[in-house]
Amino acid sequence: MARVRADDYEEKSNNILNVAATLFAEFGYTGTRMEQIAESCGVSKSMLYHYFKKKEDVLFAILQSHVTRLVKLVEAHLRDKSELGDEEFFRGFVQLWLEPSSVVRARHVVGMVEMRHLTAAQKNKQVKLEKVLLDLVGDVLVKLNGKVASNEKRVYSLLLIGMMNWVELWYKEAGAVSPAELYKMVGRLFLDGLFNINGTKKKVTTR
């Protein structure tokens, strides 16, 4: 008979992923042991293995959940475009990408540097999911400037994602630039370039 999952299975699983992401971000994937994850979660090693059989399974679950979350957020933001001016829409997109909690930020950092430790099968699944996200980011840019050529959309999307991703490695909220100011700076930097590509000089609309 198949083992029935406890009602709090998802909650406990997610807590393990949050703790593991924080440890991976601080000590690195190779520098973190399953015993360390179990101890930090306050569970036995055998209990941890009930949820995740191998350390790469923990990493895979972290990356899958992180990108799935972004996919859902960007999809919802695209649906709201008609209610927003161009600058407000884009600044909101930047904010939803850069304003996660500290736990989500840890997952974000792990996703940037630790994907190489996945198995080949896991890596293939992760790449497919990330392509979905990349296409959605391209849709964001096309919403702002329909003249973006199809062969350029991927490049601009990767440039934007790269710029936002690496913010996590150097930006400190306690510094001279507030989060709100940062979102505006990233938005203006990219928008000014996007609206002037191919000779387009579109005025940003606001509400």
State the average pLDDT over residues 30-56.
Answer: 95
- 81-135, pLDDT tens digit by residue? 777 788 889 989 999 998 877 888 889 889 999 999 999 999 999 999 999 999 9
State CA 94 to chain mean position distance: 11
Give me the residue spans of the domains in the chain: 55-199
d(CA 22, CA 12): 16
pLDDT of residue 54: 95
CATH code that applies to domain 55-199? 1.10.357.10
pLDDT at 124: 97
- 26-57 per-residue burial string, b: 16 or more CB within 10 A, e: under 16: eeebeebebeebbeebebeeeebeebbeebbe
% of the chain with per-residue pLDDT over 90: 53
Provide the 3-class DSSP secondary structure of residue 30.
coil
